[in-house]
Amino acid sequence: MPLFALFCADKPDSLPLRMATREAHLTYMAGFRDQLRLAGPMLDDKGDMAGSILFLEAENLAAAQAFSAGDPYRQAGLFDHVHITAFKPTVGTLG
């Protein structure tokens, strides 16, 4: 199955929204455990969560986009922008 990288940057000053939505987001992610190869928060200079990076196996770009659209973080309006692209690892491993 193809691999997709999702780069999701939070809106400025949105840490409270991220924290308020985090449990719903983690529950949603758990439902895709078999497809997620690596996922976690990006950190700002202070070490606070400021975005997300995910590597997802999906049938195609449309399926990766649908996954992203269903994320409670995205539904809550947390992200300033989301970029989804096909990804081919060539060095290292993804979980």
pLDDT tens-digit series, residues 38-78: 999 999 999 999 999 999 999 999 999 999 999 999 999 99
Tell me how far apart the alpha carbons of residues 59 and 21 are, in angstroms, rounded to a whole number: 27
Position 95 pLDDT exceeds 70: no
Average pLDDT, the chain: 96
Segments of the chain assigned E as strands? 3-10, 36-43, 49-57, 79-87
> Dihedrals φ, ψ of 53, to 5°?
-125, 130
Mean pLDDT (whole number) for 85-94: 88
Residue whose structure tokens are 């949105």: 14
Look up the pTM and report it: 0.92
pLDDT grade for 25, boundaries at 50, 70 and 90 = very high
Q: How close are the terminal C-alpha atoms of the chain, in Å?
A: 15
